[in-house]
Amino acid sequence: MIRPFNDTTRHEIAGRCAAFTRAAPDAASTGLKRAAVALTLARSVEAADGTALLLTLRAASLRAHSNQWAPPGGRCDPGEGPVDAALRELDEEIGLKLDAGAVLGLLDDYPTRSGYLITPVVMWADDTARLKPNPDEVASVHRIALTQIERDDAFNFVRIPESERRVIRFSHDGDYIHAPTAALIYQFREVIAGRATRVAELEQPVFAWK
């Protein structure tokens, strides 16, 4: 089912986010560095009337997590909350300027193997026609239609010898997008379907542990 990119869809998703209760802070995450990402909803390209999620492919020159899929985002500056950090990173990485009025809600914090606690901030962007990716951070920007995220076979779970936790993968365009990104997208998919599914225990592949 295509979710039209219109006010009805925006209000529906905002309502789902408002009804979602974030998980209580975990004592084990206290020492992690705070970060935030922007799960930004925009107009789809393939289906002009549909809604899509903006993802970036990180630049090959980055020292950490190069060539990996991720929403725009990064570490919170001192004294900066997750909403402000996500808005700032959205502007710095892809040239998209939004304000707090674009925020639809927050999902659960996700602890990463690399030492970060990521807060996903769900946003709505009416105009994304003039994105300007920062080449130092972003190789390309992609629009993943919500119809792709909501497929029954969009996500799968595998086991690895290095962990007892399941690794989550999002199947996209003949390849896999892994956690943390896959976990955040999975919870977003569940929230807009009205399901309060937790993802903090979903594992990342070993290459993402550093």
Cβ proximity of 188 and 39 under 8 Å: yes
Q: What is the pLDDT of residue 148?
A: 94
Whether residue 2 is contained in a domain is answered as no
Whether residue 1 is contained in a domain is answered as no
Which is higher by pLDDT, 132 or 62?
Answer: 132
Whether residue 27 is contained in a domain is answered as no
Q: What is the pLDDT of residue 29?
A: 81
Spatial separation of the C-alpha atoms in residues 21 and 106, rounded to whole Å: 9
Residue 27's Cα: distance from chain center in Å?
Answer: 23
Q: Please report which helix (H) or strand (E) contains residue 87, including its range.
A: helix 82-94
Domain count, the chain: 1
Whether residue 185 is contained in a domain is answered as yes
Spatial separation of the C-alpha atoms in residues 35 and 88, rounded to whole Å: 12
User: Which pTM was predicted?
Assistant: 0.95
Q: Write out the residue range of the structural domain in which residue 185 sits.
A: 7-22+33-208
- Residue written as token pair 């040239």: 95
| Span 34-81, pLDDT tens digits | 999 999 999 998 766 899 999 999 887 766 666 789 999 999 999 999
| Span 68-112, pLDDT tens digits | 899 999 999 999 999 999 999 999 999 999 999 999 999 999 999
Whether residue 149 is contained in a domain is answered as yes
| Span 151-200, pLDDT tens digits | 999 999 999 999 999 999 999 888 899 999 999 999 999 999 999 999 99
Q: What is the pLDDT of residue 209?
A: 85
Average pLDDT, the chain: 93
Spatial separation of the C-alpha atoms in residues 22 and 26, rounded to whole Å: 12
Q: What CATH number does residue 72 fall under?
A: 3.90.79.10
Whether residue 102 is contained in a domain is answered as yes
Whether residue 152 is contained in a domain is answered as yes
